[in-house]
Structure formats: structure tokens, C-alpha cells
Chain A
């Protein structure tokens, strides 16, 4: 199927119906391997002890919190520049997922911080910029719910998303720009990761599992959004016929 054919919602729905079962199986399988590695194989950290196990869910959620906004930003360009028919569907479907992953990132980080730092929360550059990201997700979700016409809501949300993208490099480099409690990048950095392979491998498997989870949920949520728009169109037709 040529890539451009996916611009047609019916063909996209057909593709989702075929791909989704395989994605579900892959997600469950990789999660099973990842959780086995994280909980039963990976050793305790010499400084963090067993609390390093929180990192196996905190770090993938932190990656996805930012990745979802990247997806929304690309979709925003699709809406504003190319007017791709699925761009705003993709953006709207990604927003609640991004909000959930950001919430999990903040909450699991907080549960790790209390035993390791002695505090659930500090107004540190990294933590504060991720909190701003979470608030931006809530703002985008509120905007989608406020404006009834999907195409008008899509343009407004796209502009807000692109403005919010300024926060992404701030999150990434906050640990370099400011003196923070949060440790600097240890996986996605120039040069080799600073984590031992016995912890890095389970972490990367869990990262892949969460990425597959996002892909599965995103495609399913996009399918729902297309169906919701069909329902809206039929209701408008019904109202016009009754008028």
C-alpha cells in the first residue's frame, strides 16, 4: 500500500484493523520479557539498592512524555502546512496518552525521590520543566474539548502544540544548564551510556515495551477519533434532514 493511500481514512482504518492484533501480541510479549528482566534478573544498584526498579518504568515514561509531544508537533505541522486529513486525528489521539505518560513519569519519579533524595518534590529545572509539559498537555486537551468544530480546534491546538515544543529542549538540557538534583543524561548522550549493561538491557527492553504500547494505543485512539467524526457527520446530516 503506497504511503499516500494512508491519507484516506477508510484505508487507514483497514490498515489499523490488520496491524492492531499483531501489535497487541508484540506489546504483551515484550512487556513480559521486560518485566521479567527488570524485576527478577536485573541486580540492585550499588547506590540506589532495589529502588532502581522504579527506573524501569520512570525512564520509559519520561522518554514517551517527550516523544508524544514530538509526534503532536509533527502532526501540528501536518495540520497547518500540509492539511493532511489524518494529522489532527493523530495529534488529538496522542494528547491524552502523552498526558498519562507524563503523569506516570512525575509520579514514579516522586516515589523514587522520597527514599533517594529525601523529598517527593523539589523545584529543580528538570522536574519543573516536565511539570510544565504536563500542564501543556492538559491545556491542549482542554482546547480540544472547548472548540466544537474539529477543524478549528485542530488549528488552535496545533499552534499551542508548536509553541509548547519550545519546552522540549529545555527539558532535555535542563540538567546541563542548571545545577539540579536530577542526574544528567545517562542513556541518550554523546558517547556511550553510563549505565552497566545488567541494568541498561532491561531498561531498553522496557523502553521498547512502552513504545509498542504507545503505538498500539495511538493507532486504536486514532481509529476511535475517525469513527467519532463519522458519527458527528451523520448526526449533522440527520439534523439537516430533519430541518
Chain B
């Protein structure tokens, strides 16, 4: 693969795209773990929803 005289611009564009997409994925995974951990902590302290059929969202 020969990228020519503007290789730096092409590599920078792909590198930034990779970094942003990786950041989004990492943020969503970390957020999911944090919410699950907090839910688990609350439920182990005996705080749970009044009804399994009642929704909060």
C-alpha cells in the first residue's frame, strides 16, 4: 500500500477515527459495568423495585 506524499494526513485521519471509535466503545462498556455494579450494590442492601412488572424508564 503506497500512500503517496500525503501519507501523514491519511494516517492521521484513520488514527483519529480509530481513537474516537475506541473511546466510544470503552466509555459504553465502562458505563454498563458501573450501572450494573451500582444496581447490584443497591439490591444487596435490600433496595429493589416494588414490582418486577413496574418499569422506571
Question: Which residues of A are interface residues toward B (Cβ below 8 A)?
Answer: 8-10, 39-40, 44, 49-51, 53-54, 57-58, 61, 85-86, 89, 96-97, 100, 103-104, 107-108, 111-112, 114-115, 213, 217, 220-221, 223-235, 237-238, 241
Contacts and interface: CB of A to CB of B under 8 A. Distances in A.
B55 A51 contact: no
Interface residues of B, number: 37
The A interface, classified by DSSP as helix, strand, loop or mixed, is: helix
A39 B1 contact: yes
Contacts of A235: 42
Contact of B13 (A8, A40, A108, A230): A108
Interface of B: 1-7, 9-10, 12-14, 16-17, 20-21, 23-25, 28, 31-32, 35-36, 38-39, 42-43, 45, 47-50, 52, 55-57
B33 to A, nearest CB: 10
A92 to B, nearest CB: 11
B57 A226 contact: yes
11 contacts: A10-B52, A51-B9, A104-B16, A108-B16, A115-B5, A226-B56, A227-B35, A231-B39, A234-B47, A234-B49, A237-B49
Contact of B21 (A40, A107, A213, A225): A213
B46 to A, nearest CB: 9
Given A107-B16, A111-B12, A111-B13, A230 B39 contact: yes
B6 A224 contact: no
Contacts of A233: 49, 56
A123 B15 CA distance: 26
